[in-house]
């Protein structure tokens, strides 16, 4: 991000609206997606917009709608054997082809196949003027799994279960995405890709997600524009058992398509006040980081993508910890530990957990309401001071 005048990209923060709808039995329906979009639309006051109706950002995370994809005529294999996600690309044809070449090379390097690239239907006429000026070309990529996504475990007597295969495939998709991001960043540094003035000197490239479980639709939109901009979201066969929604109100920032939330795992209302230290410590420890699950992480660095918001940086580290083998609750508890003292006691085991991991990871502190999901599990939490109060309701239909 190019700094202009008094603006400094290091101070990217958000203060937003978040919501989540979940069927606790796992049942999928379009009604759930529709209800989540209604939640988002009822949070219009939590998002910012300009006089021309350009929004700071809005988005939704859902489980991959497998049946909907098949009805689009895309011959994907069974669930868990392909990864998909939306990608923002430059509208300049030459720049787009250069990026697509990098994507194909990195996918095939892992023995996988880019089986399809779908042009995502959109309605640009609903956008504000400023958002339309910097609107990217939006594609949905489909990556097909190879025979074995990773070497089989060597433990005697162990079986390589379908669940382990899917986790290994998920890690491979993460590795591919990080390599693509790093290569494109180097391309931009040496020969800047075409960009528009409204993007502050940045190209339009950004991978919203690439996963076997969840998918994210987002953009430089208002809460009320999301479902109208993406017709997919109104299709009766577009179903999910959970949905996270986010309406962005950026503070000290410029709105950008890629800074809309949810990110790959979380949606965040609040600020990370310790963000400079958090980013600095992550950068400092990169040279000694190792992960048995991810292998050599040299190609994955930087773990924290530069030029993003505090929420995006938290999401980057959250994703790295999870794909390194931690569970969803473990990873988020290490990053955002709860408060405990004599007046607020916790169990000795939990206290030992927090004290041990405080040696390895400093808290990401600040007023925060966090909703998160990996497409299988979903949860929410507050910062240790509870400065972003949230509520939940369980209805009679679960």
Show which residues are catalytic: 16
- From residue 188, alpha-carbon distances to 80, 168, 185 in Å are 33, 30, 5
Q: Are 218 and 57 in contact (CB under 8 A)?
A: yes
CB within 8 Å of 128: residues ≥ 6 apart: 49, 50, 52, 53, 54, 55, 222
Q: What strand order describes the sheet that includes 17-22? A: 17-22, 242-247, 58-63, 214-219
Find, among 30, 90, 20, the residue nearest to 232 by Cα: 30
Q: Are 17 and 47 in contact (CB under 8 A)?
A: yes
Q: Where are the beta strands (DSSP E) in the chain?
A: 13-14, 17-22, 58-63, 82-89, 113-119, 137-144, 206-207, 214-219, 242-247, 250-251, 266-270, 368-373, 378-382
Structure tokens of 315?
């999401």
Q: Per residue, what are the HEC states of 26-87?
A: CCCEHHHHHHHHHHHHCCHHHCCECCCCCECCEEEEEECCHHHHHHCCCCCCCCCCEEEEEE
């Amino acid at each position: 991000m190019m700094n202009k005048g008094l603006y400094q990209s290091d101070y990217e923060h958000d203060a937003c609206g978040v919501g989540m709808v979940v069927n606790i039995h796992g049942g999928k329906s379009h009604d759930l997606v529709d209800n989540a979009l209604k939640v988002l639309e009822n949070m219009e006051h939590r998002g910012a917009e300009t006089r021309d109706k350009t929004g700071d950002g809005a988005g939704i995370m859902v489980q991959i709608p497998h049946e909907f994809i098949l009805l689009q005529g895309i011959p994907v294999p069974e669930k868990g054997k392909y990864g998909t996600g939306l990608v923002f690309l430059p509208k300049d044809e030459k720049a787009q082809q250069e990026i697509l070449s990098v994507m194909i090379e990195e996918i095939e390097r892992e023995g996988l196949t880019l089986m399809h690239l779908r042009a995502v239907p959109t309605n640009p006429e609903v956008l504000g003027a400023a958002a339309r000026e910097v609107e990217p070309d939006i594609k949905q990529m489909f990556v097909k799994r190879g025979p074995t996504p990773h070497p089989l475990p060597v433990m005697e007597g162990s079986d390589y279960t379908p669940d382990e295969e899917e986790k290994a495939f998920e890690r491979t998709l993460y590795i591919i995405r990080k390599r693509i991001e790093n290569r494109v960043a180097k391309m931009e540094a040496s020969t800047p890709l075409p960009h528009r003035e409204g993007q502050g000197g940045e190209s339009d490239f950004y991978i919203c997600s690439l996963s076997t479980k969840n998918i994210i639709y987002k953009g430089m939109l208002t809460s009320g524009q999301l479902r109208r901009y993406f017709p997919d979201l109104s299709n009766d066969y577009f179903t999910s058992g959970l949905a996270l929604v986010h309406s962005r109100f950026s503070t000290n920032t410029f709105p950008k398509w890629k800074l809309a939330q949810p990110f790959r795992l979380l949606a965040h209302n609040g600020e990370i006040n310790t963000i400079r230290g958090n980013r600095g410590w992550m950068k400092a420890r990169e040279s000694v980081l190792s992960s048995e699950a991810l292998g050599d992480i040299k190609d994955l660095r930087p773990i924290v993508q530069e030029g993003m918001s505090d929420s995006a940086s938290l999401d980057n580290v959250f994703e790295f910890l999870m794909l390194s083998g931690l569970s969803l609750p473990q990873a988020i508890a290490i990053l955002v530990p709860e408060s405990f003292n004599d007046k607020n006691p916790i169990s000795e085991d939990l206290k030992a957990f927090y004290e041990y991991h405080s040696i390895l990871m400093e808290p990401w502190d600040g007023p925060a309401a966090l909703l998160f999901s990996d497409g299988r599990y979903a949860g929410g939490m507050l910062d240790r001071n509870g400065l972003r109060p949230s509520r939940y309701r369980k209805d009679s239909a679960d």
